[in-house]
Amino acid sequence: MYLVTILGNLLIILVVSSESHLHTPMYFFLSNLSLTDIFFISTTVPRMIVNIITHRAISYVGGLSQMFFFIIFGCMDGMLLTVMAYDRFVAICHPVHYLVIMNPHLCSFLVFISFLFSIFVSQIHILIALEFTSFTEVEISNFFCDPAQVLSLSCSYSFFGLIIKYFIGAISGFFPVSGILFSYYKIVTSILRIPSLGGKYKAFSICGSHLSVVCVFYGTGIGVYLGSAESSSPKKDVVSSVMYSVVTPMLNPFIYSLRNEDIKSTLRWLHSRRV
């Protein structure tokens, strides 16, 4: 699964960078999403393989470092999905001014702001974990240092730990989800005004791939954070963690390549040229 994720996302980046007609804001954000997914899954799976082979546990510093980068790239995924929703909103609701609004400077600025926000959220997690750490050796029933479980272990009182967990979830989840919902509210109202059925289908197909990735990513992520507070089954926590930290990055290239005609046509052209 790790190799499929790496190769699939690298293929997306190669396709977008090799074709000039794909040098648009939409595919610029898609390339950054693919790159983020590569780093996202690389923070957990290689270390897990090393731990299985060597039969060693991760160190305290290594665990905090893993959690730091895991949160950065996980939050970056969510922020990029929000930016892509805004890009689709501008493309459908303001098609005449699309290239003027989504100019290269704004696109780079949105990616940079997403990265800064991700670092900010990750720093909050780490500072809280360091502030309330009261253990030297502890066993986490997961294949990586899951932030939800680490915060649950590091908080002195379980009620206070729940407040912190939901507060952080609101910061890292509420703002991106609100932006996505607002963008799609505007998109749907604009599509419903289109008189022709073919125009409505074309507009919905533009957003289909992005909406599928949003549902998979946020569905599994929210399920982990909300379910970990109520669930007492480590097995269910591990399955949920695998879904949003391993399966989702692997599915993204398939969703975008199978549902996107530009990507499929470019792949066919590259294959025919190689042959």
Contacts of range 155-160, beta carbons closer than 8 Å, 24 or more positions apart: 155/128, 156/132
pLDDT of residue 10: 92
Read off the amino acid at residue 133.
T
Which pTM was predicted? 0.84
65-90 pLDDT tens trace: 888 999 899 899 989 999 999 998 99
Residue 51 burial class via C-beta count within 10 angstroms: exposed 0-12, middle 13-18, buried 19 and up: middle
What is the pLDDT, as a whole number, of residue 37? 93
**pLDDT score of 34 more than 80:** yes
- As a whole number of angstroms, the distance between CA 56 and CA 53 comes to 8
The confidence band for 54, taking pLDDT boundaries of 50, 70 and 90, is confident
C-alpha angle with apex 161: 155 to 162, nearest 5 degrees? 165
For the cut 90, the answer to whether the pLDDT of residue 133 exceeds it is: no
102 pLDDT above the threshold of 90: yes
Closest CA to 149 of 137, 161, 160: 161
HEC per residue, 116-176: HHHHHHHHHHHHHHHHCCCCCCCCCCCCCCCHHHHHHHHCCCHHHHHHHHHHHHHHHHHHH
Query: By three-state DSSP, how is residue 183 classified?
Result: helix
Distance (Å) of CA 184 to CA 23, 90, 187, 191, 210: 24, 11, 5, 10, 11
Give the chain's largest Cα–Cα span. Answer: 65
The pLDDT value recorded for residue 260 is 66
Mean pLDDT within 98-113: 93
- pLDDT band, residue 130 (cuts 50/70/90): confident
pLDDT at 274: 65
pLDDT at position 259 is 61
Q: How far, in Å, CA of 195 to CA of 89, rounded? A: 19
Predicted confidence (pLDDT) per residue in 176-194, tens digit: 888 888 988 888 888 888 7
pLDDT digits (tens, 9 = 90+) for 218-227: 777 666 656 5
The third-level CATH classification (topology) of the domain covering 2-270 is: Rhopdopsin 7-helix transmembrane proteins (1.20.1070)
Which residues are CB-neighbours of 171 under 8 A, at least 6 positions away? 121, 124
From the CA atom positions of the chain, what is the Rg in Å? 20
Contacts (Cβ under 8 Å, ≥6 apart) of 119: 72
Instruction: Select from 145, 164, 25, 32 the least CA-distant residue to 94.
Output: 25
Distance in angstroms (rounded) separating the CA atoms of residues 74 and 218: 11
Please give the pLDDT value at position 72: 93
Residue 268 has pLDDT above 80, yes or no: no
